[in-house]
Amino acid sequence: MLLTYILFAVGFVVLILGANWLVNGSVSLGLRANLSPLVIGLTVVAFGTSLPELVINVFASFKGSSDLAIGNVLGSNIMNIFLILGISSQFMPIHVERISIRRDIPVGLFATLLFGLIANGYFMGFDLVINRFDGFVLLAVFGIYLWFTLKKGNGIEPDLDVENKQPASWPKTILLILIGLAGLFFGGEWVSDGALEVAKALGISETAIGLTIVAAATSLPELVTAIVAAMKKNIGIVMGNVLGSNIINILVVLGTSAIINPLIYQTKLNVELGMVIAANLALVVVIYLGKGFRLSRYEGISLILSYIVFIWFSINYN
**What integer pLDDT is reported at residue 157 of this predicted model?**
46
Residues of the chain with pLDDT under 50: 154-160
What CATH number is given to the structural domain containing 214?
1.20.1420.30
Question: What does the alpha-carbon distance between residue 266 and residue 43 come to, in Å, rounded to a whole number?
Answer: 32
**What integer pLDDT is reported at residue 156 of this predicted model?**
45
Q: Which domain holds residue 219?
A: 2-317
273-302 per-residue burial string, b: 16 or more CB within 10 A, e: under 16 = bebbbbbbebbeebbeebeeebbbeebbee
Contact, 17 vs 165, CB < 8 A? no
Other beta carbons less than 10 A from residue 114's beta carbon:
17
**What integer pLDDT is reported at residue 195 of this predicted model?**
84
**What integer pLDDT is reported at residue 160 of this predicted model?**
46
**What integer pLDDT is reported at residue 43 of this predicted model?**
65
**What integer pLDDT is reported at residue 254 of this predicted model?**
96
Amino acid in the structure at residue 20: N
Q: Any alpha helices (H) in 120-169, and if so which ranges?
A: 132-152
**What integer pLDDT is reported at residue 29 of this predicted model?**
85
Tally of structural domains, the chain: 1
Contact, 206 vs 65, CB < 8 A? yes
Question: What does the alpha-carbon distance between residue 217 and residue 296 come to, in Å, rounded to a whole number?
Answer: 26
- pTM for the model stands at 0.83
